[in-house]
């Protein structure tokens, strides 16, 4: 069975997918290090920031509902979104830890 290398089209598709996730901050193959907040680290920071913002919105809505100014339906929706975001973050963390452990177990 022959192994075929990934052609330029495969690497270009991967670059475009990464650029879509990264929010377009990546301008070229070597630009990740030169772009402040760009690259994989920047994408993770933005994703974690979104999770924190979702949790803050849920907390703010809950405080408004407690004071009698908020809508209970909106609070339930915000809390459900925050819970889903936290579960997703925990799942991604677990996958990253598992990948690190797999790499560390590889023979040299």
Question: In this predicted model, what pLDDT tens digit does every residue of 44-56 receive, in sequence order?
Answer: 889 889 999 999 9
| Percent helix, strand and coil across the chain, each to the nearest 5 | 70, 0, 30
Taking the C-alpha atoms of 72, 53, 80 and 67 in order, what is their torsion angle to the nearest 10 degrees? Answer: -20
Q: What is the mean pLDDT of the chain?
A: 76
DSSP 8-state code for residue 77: H
pLDDT tier for residue 71 given thresholds of 50, 70 and 90: confident
The full set of domain ranges for the chain reads 8-105
Check residues 69 and 26 and name the one with the higher pLDDT. Answer: 69
* Res 31 pLDDT > 50: no
Label residue 3 left, alpha or beta by phi (over 0 means left) and psi (-120 to 50 means alpha): beta
């Amino acid at each position: 069975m022959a192994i075929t290398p990934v052609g330029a089209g495969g690497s270009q598709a991967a670059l475009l997918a990464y650029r879509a996730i990264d929010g377009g901050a990546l301008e070229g193959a070597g630009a990740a290090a030169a772009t402040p907040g760009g690259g994989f680290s920047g994408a993770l920071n933005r994703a974690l920031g979104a999770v924190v913002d979702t949790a803050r919105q849920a907390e703010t809505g809950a405080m408004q509902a407690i004071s009698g100014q908020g809508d209970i339906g909106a609070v339930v929706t915000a809390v459900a979104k925050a819970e889903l975001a936290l579960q997703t973050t925990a799942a991604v963390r677990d996958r990253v830890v598992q990948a690190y452990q797999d790499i560390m177990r590889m023979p040299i």
